[in-house]
Amino acid sequence: MVLNPNVFRAYDIRGLYPAELNEDFFYDLAKGFCSYLLENKKYFFLRRPKIVVGQDLRASSSFLADAFIDGVLDFGFDIVDIGSATTPMSVYAVHTLNCVGGAIVTASHNARDYNGIKFLDKSCRYIGGEEFLEFFNRIKSKNNYKSKRGKYKETDISFSYLDFLTRGLKLKRKLKIVVDASGGVAGLFLNNFLKKMKVDYIPLFFESDPFFEKHNPNPLLLESQFFVKEKIKETGADFGVIFDGDADRIVFVDEKSDCIRGDAAGGIVADSFLKKGDALVRDIVSTMSLEEHFEKKGVKNIISSVGRFYMRKAMEKNKAVFGSEMSGHYYFKKLHYSESAFLTLRLVLEALDKNPSLQISDLAKPFLKYFHSDEIFFPLVSSDAWPSILEKIKKQYQTGRQSFGDGIKVEYEDWWFVLRPSNTEPVVRLCVEATNQNLFEEKKKEIFKLLL
């Protein structure tokens, strides 16, 4: 297999199996990961280094995980194999089991033909961006840490993890919810999790579906939301949720079968536990109503570029308790600045429990008062087209407040927009928000003309 450098993404390694990544690649990648960790010698002390490895339920994941494990063992590090696990569970395992790093074999929400791997260091920080270039060099060197093969151990971390997530929970309100596991790894643990919370639930696709034949594992797609929406209509459930393939994202559907935009769902979560003096990080495309709402409550608002790397960096810098992305990623300081879709669900249930006369749509309403486009994709003629588009936008909207942390954001008193290029494909993403519908439609059409 000819190695494709494009599989080294901003936050993980991901590509088509077996065309772009296969077992030989994962074996070499394991040695590269160990070499990378070995440079951080402060992690190792006098004990033998050990690495957590987990995997999702994709058809190819077990083959790739086995190859990766062999590479780690041959390098001389020990393995703690937690088997099928959610990505947040793997983060928990690295910390709880005192490992020097972790790896989860998953392609998250990508379609069935993809697979990949996410890496964690000892501090539970995802390793990404330019650091993957380090991996690239390590793969070529294939140096060994010790001549003696490492030791292998299997550990089930799930009971400890679910106990941690449900500790101290006491719900009085009787709620019925629809839960769609997307045929992914969440389905292995949801029965136990939901029973611990004593919630009445209607399960959808909890059974393993390695090829995602029931629906795509991306919960933001309308086709993926169809089954939950129909089941809510059929049963009169209070709300529904959809997990992605590795359960680090969650999407909410209200009692009317309307999808709740991710930033509004983040507002519900933040409102459930943030207090005066806390800090909240939200991504650059989230509604301005979040800032307005939480500033009144004395909660500090910080805007971050989109993506796990930037969200964590902003949260650590500002000691933020919670981070929210419109994509359905929700980050918690108590979980080492990592996501947890399960914890997010618990907090929404607690929010409804504290407000027995309200539905989930009522809790979302304060964060949906403005007109927001979500992200709209526009194809580029080529990846080189972005600089000229950026200059055109800067000139056209020079009277607005411009910032350039993630593409360009232009802000006016009663509307704003973000235009940002993709890191992986020749497209730009546009997001527009305005205080009234006429202005929203006018500005959206205006920008469309510039881009088309």
CATH code assigned at 359: 3.40.120.10
Q: Which residues, at least 6 apart from 329, have a Cβ–Cβ distance to it below 8 Å?
A: 248, 249, 308, 311, 339
Residue % of the chain over a pLDDT of 70: 93
Whether residues 9 and 151 fall in one domain = yes
Whether residues 304 and 397 fall in one domain = no
pLDDT at 323: 98
Kind of pairing, strands 13-16 and 114-121?
Answer: antiparallel
Structure tokens at 71: 């590479």
Lowest mean pLDDT among 78-87, 134-143, 355-364: 134-143
Whether residues 312 and 426 fall in one domain = no
Whether residues 266 and 320 fall in one domain = yes
* pLDDT tens digits for range 394-428: 999 999 999 998 999 999 999 999 999 986 678 89
Whether residues 350 and 387 fall in one domain = no
Whether residues 193 and 254 fall in one domain = yes
Active-site option among 60, 108, 257, 272 = 108
pLDDT at 7: 85
Examine the fold and report which residue of 212, 232, 258 is the final residue of a domain before the chain moves on. Answer: 258
Q: Which residues, at least 6 apart from 103, have a Cβ–Cβ distance to it below 8 Å?
A: 30, 33, 51, 52, 53, 54, 68, 90, 117, 118, 119, 120
Work out the average pLDDT over 3-22: 87
Closest C-alpha among 126, 195, 159, 170 to residue 335:
126
Structure tokens at 15: 């590509």
pLDDT-derived band at 4, boundaries 50, 70, 90: confident
pLDDT at 147: 64
Is residue 74 over pLDDT 60? Answer: yes
3 state SS for 299-351: CEEEEECCCHHHHHHHHHHHCCCEEECCCCCEEEHHHCCEECHHHHHHHHHHH
Whether residues 270 and 253 fall in one domain = no
pLDDT at 47: 67
Q: Domain limits at 18?
A: 5-156
Evaluate whether residue 170 is within a structural domain.
no
pLDDT at 3: 72
Annotated active-site residue 338? The verdict is no
Whether residues 84 and 198 fall in one domain = no
Q: How many CB atoms lie within 10 A of CB 14?
A: 22
Whether residues 18 and 97 fall in one domain = yes
pLDDT at 281: 98
Closest C-alpha among 321, 323, 289 to residue 303:
323
pLDDT at 447: 97
pLDDT at 422: 81
* Spatial separation of the C-alpha atoms in residues 452 and 447, rounded to whole Å: 9
Question: Nearest 5°: CA angle at 425, between 180 and 429?
Answer: 70
The total of structural domains in the chain comes to: 4
Whether residues 63 and 100 fall in one domain = yes
Evaluate whether residue 169 is within a structural domain.
no
Examine the fold and report which residue of 318, 341, 369 is the final residue of a domain before the chain moves on. Answer: 369
Choose between 36 and 390: higher pLDDT. 390
Is residue 44 over pLDDT 90? Answer: no
pLDDT-derived band at 282, boundaries 50, 70, 90: very high
Evaluate whether residue 416 is within a structural domain.
yes
Evaluate whether residue 168 is within a structural domain.
no
Evaluate whether residue 166 is within a structural domain.
no
Evaluate whether residue 161 is within a structural domain.
no
Average pLDDT of the residues of the chain: 93
Examine the fold and report which residue of 240, 258, 276 is the final residue of a domain before the chain moves on. Answer: 258
Work out the average pLDDT over 167-193: 97
pLDDT at 46: 43
Which pTM was predicted? 0.94
